[in-house]
């Protein structure tokens, strides 16, 4: 799992590519973020993580993956290529039906 909530004060994120891990202090982020009282602790912290450069990706039939600042760009390129290949497969399937 790329993220977990070890206690009521922290959401921890781990990069799915390298050993990078960051803890997000929920109270600090809620105090500095634009108020959204209905947002979950995860959502508030993930917005913060996105702001510092972390990225997430979801492939059909798979779990979300989370990537740190240094791994994110390479994974984004690979994800774009995966999506391009999926679209090409879908195009070929539609043409053959």
pTM of the complete model: 0.79
Looking at residue 19, its pLDDT comes to 95
Distance separating alpha carbons of residues 50 and 17, to the nearest angstrom:
16
- Strand (E) positions, the chain? 3-7, 10-14, 21-25, 55-58, 64-67
Looking at residue 34, its pLDDT comes to 72
pLDDT tens series, the chain, 97 aa = 588 898 989 999 999 999 999 999 999 988 887 767 788 899 999 999 999 999 999 888 889 999 999 999 999 999 899 989 999 998 998 988 7
Looking at residue 1, its pLDDT comes to 53
Distance separating alpha carbons of residues 67 and 7, to the nearest angstrom:
22
The tokens for 65 are: 């993956």
Residue 23 forms beta bridges with which residues? Answer: 12
């Amino acid at each position: 799992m790329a993220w977990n909530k070890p206690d009521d004060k922290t959401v921890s994120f781990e990069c799915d590519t390298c050993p990078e891990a960051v803890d997000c202090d929920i109270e600090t982020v809620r105090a500095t973020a634009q108020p959204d009282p209905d947002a979950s602790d995860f959502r508030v912290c993930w917005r913060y993580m996105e702001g510092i450069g972390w990225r997430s990706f979801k492939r059909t039939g798979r779990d979300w993956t989370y990537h740190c600042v240094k791994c994110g760009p390479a994974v984004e390129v690979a994800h774009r290529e995966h999506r391009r290949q999926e679209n090409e497969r879908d195009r070929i399937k539609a043409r053959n039906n």
